[in-house]
Amino acid sequence: MKKYIVAILLACGALSGCAVWSERPAKELTSATGGEGLERAYWSEVKRQHWNDVALRLASNFIAVTPTGQRDRSATLEYLKQIKLQDYSLGDLQTELSGNTFVVTYTITLHGTYEGKPLPESPQKMLTVWQQHKSGWMQIAQTTFGPEGRSQ
């Protein structure tokens, strides 16, 4: 009888280390802290095409100023869905916290395609405004600047 109990205990111990069930990745945007963490999590979700998670972090009154004009929340989501992001890198990142608002400036280099055409590989200057709401941190504004610092 002792042999059976020992065998069962050993089997249970071996199975407890088995990866039968894969771990679900943590929701990056809900676990991010600080302006830099929010930006990195946001772009990671865009890369993974987790559109529901991205949508949850764009405020209803979100506005983006882009090289082609202004986009509201809905138009921004449609734009992002056309991007097939293979990789990205952030640089020159600076974060300022004022009350419940982060202002994050950085450069981003994107590698991938938009509507099947390669994305520009030169770094773009970005500014994102994150505001804390009851449901978590949400983007309320984002803009892209040209190389000379003027809005494109």
pLDDT digits (tens, 9 = 90+) for 34-81: 899 999 999 999 999 999 999 999 999 999 998 888 999 999 999 999
Q: What is the bridge-based pairing of β-strands 83-98 and 136-145? A: unpaired
C-beta separation of 57 from 40 below 8 A:
no
Domains of the chain by start residue, with CATH: 29-145 (3.10.450.50)
Q: How far apart are CA 32 and CA 35, in angstroms?
A: 8
First and final C-alpha spacing in the chain: 78
**Among 9-13, 73-77, 126-130, which is the least confidently predicted range?**
9-13
The model's pTM? 0.74
Q: How far apart are CA 56 and CA 108, in angstroms?
A: 22
